[in-house]
Amino acid sequence: METKGKTKFLSVWHNVKYSWALKPKTSFSRNSPVLLLGKCYHFKAEEDEGQTEACREASDEEGVMGNVEDFRRDFGSRIWLTYREEFPPLPGSSLTSDCGWGCMLRAGQMMLAQALLLHFLGRDWTWSGAMSLQPLDTETWTTSAAKRLVASLESSLQASPGPSDPVVSQRQVAGSGEEAGVHTDGGFHRTLVSWFGDSPSAQFGLHSMVRLGLAMGKRAGEWYGPAVVAHILKKAVEEARDPCLAGISSYVSQDCTVYSADVIDSHKAPASAAAERPDVTSSSHNSQPASASPDSRAVIILVPVRLGGEKTNPDYFNLAKSFLSLDYCIGIIGGKPKQACYFVGFQDDSLIYMDPHYCQSFVDVSTSDFPLQSFHCPSPKKMPFTKMDPSCTFGFYSRSAQDFERIKHELTELLQPSAKEKYPAFIFVQGHGRDYDLSASLSPEKREWPFIRDPRRSGSTVGDFVLL
């Protein structure tokens, strides 16, 4: 009984702590372009002529959009994955919520979801329900949360928690009401979202991420850094069971170095996978096939970096802007110190991000008509570049080996050090990583999980990096 009361109290506390963390609406300037994962938007009135030089430089003519509604539709179509509660216990623990510790895993899930959207539906795809999303109104939610808090605390004090949890039931009723009348695209979009459900069977769900983390000494409830999450994502893609995912793989750079031959090898599909791959051109929105040919795979390229010491070096701000202006960029997982988020764009000197620090109820994605609203974010947030934690992971999507050659050329140009920057954030090198004998002296576990720290080594850690 005491354990149930404690669990109940923690659930209520998480609900208040994270649901109340809703700030007023994010402000955007009408005088500056907004970049969102390679697409440029301008919020000037339609009768205003001209566009800023920054917008022209950031995107070609086809990428320039003209109104707020297009941005809202695009942002609302990105997959939003947040804290959840009341899901089945996570592997190796009795935890049924990731509130307070799972934000980096959620940010990584969102990056992977964007890569899959690009792969299967294309960058121009938008969800038909994006414009029907209800804003997360501060006053409304804090008032209702306060009522739920009082009711739940009274129930806990009476030691009578039961299945009719007011925190869950009222929120689910509200969600069901919001879903009513919303036409969804159904089909593949819903399938993609279900891969990220909070259940042991979901291929990219939190349970799978935690299970993979256990192999490198990370347990549910502990902090996961962006580099560790990059390796977990890679492993999750490798182990994906759905035949539709046979046409996609993942690559993680080594020591801020992308080895071109390793990426090219990742583009090559195993013979068995090529033979079993189904037809996944399931959306009319996708103007390109899911991969270039049956014997080729797309590759998600993940590059963990550190952009400074204790704080991000301002010299790298423009580089991050350049990356987020590319249509094959799938975003950045990082955030503030010990508070992760998923960066998807920018305006002027502020990053635009999707915030996982919002506690929602468990959704059973095994049902054919599960509600989609809670997997899409109605409210973008902004954060100054100066608050960005230097430890982060860049993500890129390469559709084919030929596509990678173009990406490598473009990124190499952007990575050229300026007069201020002494070192590039990362580099491309010809050949395989094994050609440089980087892992000859490493144990098998260290090769698989290069960020496992050797307890015999001295030094302090910052994020996922060891400072000696």
- DSSP lists the bridge partners of residue 329 as 396
The single-letter DSSP state of residue 290 is S
Q: Which residues are CB-neighbours of 58 under 8 A, at least 6 positions away?
A: 33, 35, 40, 325
Closest by CA position to 18, among listed 80, 83, 88: 83
357 has catalytic annotation: yes
Q: Which of 14, 119, 357, 376 is catalytic?
A: 357
Distance CA 187, CA 282 (A): 8
- Residue 362 in tokens: 């468990």
Q: Which of 55, 99, 103, 329 is catalytic?
A: 103
256 has catalytic annotation: no
Count CA atoms closer than 13 A to 234's CA, side-chain side. Answer: 24
End-to-end, the C-alpha distance of the chain in Å comes to 48
189 has catalytic annotation: no
Q: Which of 74, 165, 262, 355 is catalytic?
A: 355
- Residue 310 in tokens: 């204790």
Distance CA 223, CA 141 (A): 28
Question: Helix H segments across 180-289?
Answer: 187-194, 206-214, 226-239, 260-267, 271-276
Q: Are 386 and 312 in contact (CB under 8 A)?
A: yes
CA dist 227 → 34, 47, 187, 232 (Å):
28, 46, 33, 9
Closest by CA position to 58, among listed 76, 69, 42: 42
Q: Are 391 and 225 in contact (CB under 8 A)?
A: yes
Token look-up 């030094």 returns 459
The single-letter DSSP state of residue 430 is S
Distance CA 80, CA 436 (A): 39
Distance CA 312, CA 333 (A): 14
Could you list the active site residues? 103, 355, 357
